[in-house]
Amino acid sequence: MKQYDAVSMLAFVENQRNHIETEVNKTVFPEIVYPDLVPVDNSAPEWTKTITFRSAETFGNADWINGNANDIPTAGNKYGESQSEVHMAGVGYAYGYEEVQASLAYGVNLQNNDAIAARETYERFVDKVAITGDASKGMQGLINTSGVTLESSLKTFITSTEDEILAAINKLISGTAADTEYQMAADTLLLPYSVFTYLASTPLSSKEGGTLLSFIQKYNTYTATTGQPLTIRAISRLTNGGTGGTIDRAVAYSNNSRVLKLHIPMMHRFLPAVQVGALNYVVPGIFRLGGLEVRTKEAMRYMDGV
């Protein structure tokens, strides 16, 4: 059986990379939640070193004026600025000498399992940064951004009555309307898995039927105000996600780009294959992250002790 030289093997791996990338890009990872929870912004230049985060606070009031007045009341936004570094990270995949020789000899494609694993690893990495940040890079996430108002639940939901649970949730989602231009409750509620499971599996005591979760979805202040359904999601990282890392946390916020953005100047990409050592062919993968920007902290609320 023919033995292929290093140049032919590297060319084959590179040719296979193009085919494999097409398959990898079609793969869906249902357990990855960040694209549904935060708007993703890829608009910054791929090699930018920093991203400027701008927080906004609306000011001003309309008032009665004289018909010939020159001093018209004005409104606007007060902006605070901070900069976040964009950091580079990577994950790729590799093939061994024997695997490449066998594929060439039998005229079959290289397996794409490792390439899919690399892409999934990237998605999990970004998912973690979006939700909890990364302390080593000074990044904060969706559930632990400093400066967001923190409420405390009087009792855990499991030990609360139906009315107490609904009152706590409405306090949480309605608090985001207090001092912002949105004038409505938050549209997204995130709960720890144990709390979500309890609400979804506990029937109402009344004759109305349904569960505690369906009761909340029907009678929350966001739905009452807008007629739109409240998005309620279970997030595992909220378990022990509260202050001190020993109590559960719930999160309410308005999920739109005026409130928050996840900056990914460079999404994950595979680079040309390289030979590493005598018997390994590596396809590197790189990406660049700027982290989560919470632009309007008043449109978010945390509640510990749920």
Exposure string over 119-144, b if 16+ CB within 10 A, otherwise e: bbebbebbbebbbbbbeeeebbbbbb
pTM: 0.84
Q: In a structure prediction context, what are the per-residue pLDDT tens digits for the chain, which is 306 residues long?
A: 567 788 888 888 888 887 788 778 778 888 899 999 999 999 999 999 988 766 555 666 776 677 676 777 777 666 666 677 899 999 999 998 888 889 888 888 888 889 999 999 999 999 999 999 999 999 999 999 999 999 999 899 999 999 999 999 999 998 766 555 555 679 999 999 999 999 999 998 876 788 999 999 999 999 998 999 999 999 999 999 999 999 999 999 999 998 999 999 999 999 999 999 888 999 999 999 999 999 888 899 999 999
Look at residue 247 in the predicted model and tell me its pLDDT.
Answer: 95
